[in-house]
Amino acid sequence: MKKKLIAGNWKMNGSLAANEALIKGLVSGVGTPNCLVALCVPSVYLAQCRSLLTGSVIDLGAQDVSQHEAGAFTGEVSCSMLNDFGVRYCLVGHSERRQYHFETDAVVALKAQRALASGVTPIVCIGETLAEREAGRTEEVVKRQLAAVIHANGHCISEIVLAYEPVWAIGTGKTASAEQAQQVHAVLRAQLKAASSQADRIQLLYGGSMNAANASQLLGQPDIDGGLIGGASLKAPDFLSIIASAG
């Protein structure tokens, strides 16, 4: 049976002291969860978080990676650098990267490809804006975003994790209803199935204002295999409660 994955995305939050307190709280409270758990932390804290997570069931993740192997790309972090720190997952194509750093579908697809080639599991993020949803374009947008990743990755597509994060639900407190999320997840699953006979093993996460109160309903949907959690991953009791909902 495929395990669910609960991944925290700290975004640009944290400090040495706050990270230590948060991770100690999570490690002591997590027990033996029925799901996989990961924390996607700012890259400058990978070393600290790796050492705090050593021996725990919680995996380490990064929030972005360069599509290039190495070289003159000031400020970027490569997959081999992530390998050095035992990073298992890396977000690619988060809507904040697409919006503020102008990452295109093609760049996101290359990042996923680079991660897969390095043994880092990309958590590929896709999702529509409010304007796109209101224009009835949700399916068209998410299918286009996913198609680019499928096109670049071929049969390796079954090795990715996919996160559906409607942009209008991120950090707004406006969660997609379980039905809205399931509807899009079913479309994505069908698209993945058309591309790979292994599509059933791909974890499809939902992200966007998931919290301790709404997690069980969302995670109870047939095509929702986990969550990508922003704000609520910064508070140990909330994140632990979401992990418990995934059991």
Q: Does 5 help bind ligand 13P (rule: CB under 6 A)?
A: no
Is residue 228 within 8 A of residue 190, CB to CB? The reply is no
CA distance 209 to 158: 27
Give yes or no for residue 166 binding ligand 13P (CB under 6 A).
no
Nearer to ligand 13P, 181 or 195 (CB): 181
Residue given tokens 């988060």 in the structure block: 94
The residues in 82-141 that bind ligand 13P, with binding defined as CB under 6 A, are 94
Q: Is 132 helix (H, G, I), strand (E, B) or coil?
A: helix
Alpha-carbon 145 to chain mean position: 15
At closest approach, how far in Å is the CB of 208 from ligand 13P? Answer: 5
Q: Is 94 a catalytic residue?
A: yes
C-beta of 231: minimal distance to ligand 13P in Å?
4
For the record, the structure tokens of 139 come out as 């399916």
Q: Is 171 in the site for ligand 13P (CB under 6 A)?
A: yes
Q: Is 165 considered catalytic here?
A: yes
CB of 210 to ligand 13P, least distance (A): 6
**DSSP character string of 190-220:** HHHHHH-TTGGGS-EEEESS--TTTHHHHHT
Q: How far is the CB of 226 from ligand 13P (least distance, A)?
A: 12
Specify the stretch interacting with ligand 13P by CB under 6 A; choose among 14-22, 44-52, 180-188, 203-211. 203-211
The active-site residue, picked from 68, 94, 128, 159, is: 94
CB of 185 closer than 8 Å to CB of 202: no
CB 243 within 8 A of CB 35: yes
Residues that bind ligand 13P (CB under 6 A): 9, 94, 165, 170-171, 207-210, 228-232
